[in-house]
Amino acid sequence: MANILPPKSDEVFKMLFGDEQDKDPLTGFLEAVLPLPGDDYDEITIMNPFLPSKALGDKIGILYLGVRTKTGK
């Protein structure tokens, strides 16, 4: 039986959505969680892929994204 990696894992999430060269999976994810259709996006920028934890025991943030719409928001 094959092991299935959980997409909520920080490392797996980054592998799925943190590729600067292929933003299609990330765009699909953002369309699913934001009230904004993908064709309104002008630019998606992965600004800092590793955010350190602020306190002992905190999770490490993996993706910090910038999304600019075609209207400049």
**What is the rounded radius of gyration, in angstroms, for the C-alpha atoms of the chain?**
14
CB-CB neighbours of 63 under 10 Å:
16
Please report, in tens digits, the pLDDT of each residue of the chain (73 residues total): 567 878 777 777 777 887 888 888 888 888 898 888 778 888 888 876 665 566 666 666 656 788 888 888 8
Nearest alpha-carbon partner for 28 in 19, 49, 70: 19
